[in-house]
Structure 1
């Protein structure tokens, strides 16, 4: 399990209803003295009310991963490519199911939904395997 430091940018892999299967950009504020918990501040989630502030929560270390490396944006995606789509303040894992003009259809198995996104709201999905970022396309080729 990774140890995270104050100020580190991370993604929270939420297990909450409505956010299951999403990655939310966050910053580590502190590690709690007991157990494997961290206080994080979300980049895009805010508190409710008249003067919203960035939401701060206590999160278990097993729901946190380092921020994936920024890769050069692909010129296109292909059918069945595993991608992350930015929607509703989070990155959601899905699969390319089609293309219409400059928009890509993405299917999300967690919610059984399909939505369209422009290329700018998509990124290659990467998995963190033994501390290394691996493209899901590379993993599929090496396991076949």
Structure 2
């Protein structure tokens, strides 16, 4: 499996394994490398538990770190069952589109069994991290029609 080495200032996505957050991804900046297998990362949206005026800084293992995915622009909206990343609760969560009502897309999260409505601005097509590269998770299905 290909690995990516990060340096100070690199923007990364970190996979959380914390209780209540498993499978979520959080944006951060590498502050320094701690040997070949870990980094010190300062999060963009997570804050210290005891002082929410300070961004959370923690040591992150290499296997939980990825580059930030590229932005993908597409027209026509999201299709039924598209795999998406939703920005909610200070991170990105993986789900599938199950329905559209007006400008709201309903997303099902297999990890929690929940289905929640989101505005399209909080969604992006899911890319998977494979051998050190971001790749499309699957072909898109046709977009909903209004």
Larger RCO, structures 1/2 (Cα 8 Å, 6+ apart): 2
Q: What displacement does 1:73 show?
A: 5.0
Seen in structure 2, the aligned counterparts of structure 1 residues 51 and 89 have a Cα distance that, compared at 3 Å, is closer
C-alpha distance in 1 between matches for 2:104 and 2:52: 35
C-alpha distance in 2 between matches for 1:128 and 1:113: 24
1:16 is matched with: 18
2:122 is matched with: 121
Indicate conservation of the 8 Å contact 1:73/1:123, yes or no. no
Secondary structure of residue in 2 paired with 1:137: coil
Secondary structure of residue in 2 paired with 1:94: strand
Secondary structure of residue in 2 paired with 1:62: helix
C-alpha distance in 1 between matches for 2:90 and 2:74: 20
- Structure 1 residue aligned with 2:4, among 2, 6, 13? 2
TM-score of the aligned structures, taking structure 2 as reference length: 0.88
TM-score of the aligned structures, taking structure 1 as reference length: 0.89
List alignment gaps of at least 5 residues for structure 2.
Answer: 141-146
2:48 is matched with: 47
Indicate conservation of the 8 Å contact 1:10/1:66, yes or no. yes
* Structure 1 stretches of at least 4 aligned residues deviating more than 4 Å after TM superposition: none
Q: Aligned-residue CA RMSD in angstroms?
A: 1.8
Seen in structure 2, the aligned counterparts of structure 1 residues 51 and 113 have a Cα distance that, compared at 3 Å, is closer
Deviation sequence 1:81-106 (CA, Å, 0-9, x none): 00000000000000001011110000
Q: What displacement does 1:21 show?
A: 1.2
- Structure ranking higher in helix proportion: 1
